[in-house]
Structure 1
């Protein structure tokens, strides 16, 4: 079932894949294809908070979490990026160190775009620069929604919203006719929703009782997206 008309997904997801649609084949090759790609296993770090950025990450396949570590050592997942998304470009544009860390959530294929190549592409393509500026503006609104949810939403609303976003991202790597699968550890799910792992386990059981979802090990299958949207409390 589609989210059209029942959940404003565009207000909760970044849209960096759109910025490449304005590039010519040659520009795309110079920026991404010629760099080659590297395979990363699940749990590998791409960059850490405080590092000086020399590259920007382009995700060909897999999922990557952006996160921060709090004073007590607790991890907070800020965003989960997936196929065709860029991460790490904010620090490059600002000329600052990485404000967060990034690590793979599953086996992933990543291209590292050299900082200077990325900046040169922006200097030579007004369309590319405009698309990126638009994406950055959209991200501000997305982050504002996430902050509002994290400070005002209940545990159930936070978890339901996290599951909706993860289900939507899973669609990009799901074969036609197959149901999307959320494959994430309960710890990562808790860190994404900003709630305790114990609450995640309890709420998943509750959602199963309400026939909203099914589980198979760590895998989660959403059976009734309308009910899940209702539990998220977002209009």
Structure 2
């Protein structure tokens, strides 16, 4: 049985996640200070409005990142998976968490205390460059999102969201090839990400099924024609 909480040097996320490529000395520092936990579906890792005491590295499972809007309605801003770091934006800006993070399924995550994370960020050039680059890309992405919401029809936004979610939920087969994913989100959560009413989202999903772009199994969505969805969503 695989070790649930392996040494950071042995963790598979070091090869494809935010910590990929950092040196062994940094990994040793993080390993000595980390605390790993198992989170059940619905458990919060981060609560909006609280002060960050560290960051979380997702070892397995998926989490949703969201803000609460008017009348307590959730607005999902991202779905994160193994290898992602959670909470470093608030840490680097020395601000309160502006989002909450909740497990969508069983999640294993390791908490890295503030002091050790900031020391690693300052001393490891690979980690420093990656996170600064990611923050810069997010500013550009936010501008595009605002434009999309204002200008793109729901059909295009839905297609683009499914393409992005496919990369989150996709798995590799034994030959190392990426297979089409089973996107396992409620229609309400998906509508939330697209920025439309649930009823409107359901109609668009129905249209995509009729066009054989996707198929469904219960609430799961399986993409059949990724390239067509990329064209519709304007993702090239």
Same fold, judged at TM 0.5 (above): yes
Match of 2:142 in 1: 143
Match of 1:193 in 2: 194
Match of 1:227 in 2: 228
Describe the SS at the equivalent of 2:75. strand
Match of 2:79 in 1: 80
Unaligned runs of 5+ in 1: 1-16
After superposition, the Cα gap between the structure-2 partners of 1:29 and 1:218, relative to the gap in structure 1 and judged at 3 Å, is farther
Match of 2:63 in 1: 64
How many residue pairs get matched?
218
8 Å CA contact retained: 2:33, 2:116: no
Stretches of 4+ moved more than 4 A in 1? none
Match of 1:3 in 2: none
8 Å CA contact retained: 2:213, 2:228: yes
Cα RMSD (Å): 1.9
- Structure-2-length-normalised TM-score: 0.85
**Superposition pairs of residues 122-141 of structure 1, within 5 angstroms:** 122-141=121-140
Match of 2:46 in 1: 47
Which segment drifts farther, 51-60 or 121-130? 121-130
| CA positional deviation for 1:146 | 2.0
Unaligned runs of 5+ in 2: 1-15
Which segment drifts farther, 74-83 or 34-43? 34-43
8 Å CA contact retained: 1:63, 1:106: yes
Separation in structure 2 between the aligned mates of residue 89 and residue 162 of structure 1, nearest angstrom: 24
8 Å CA contact retained: 2:157, 2:233: yes
8 Å CA contact retained: 1:18, 1:131: no
Q: Is residue 211 from structure 1 mapped to residue 209 from structure 2 by the alignment?
A: no
8 Å CA contact retained: 1:41, 1:104: yes
Separation in structure 2 between the aligned mates of residue 133 and residue 224 of structure 1, nearest angstrom: 34
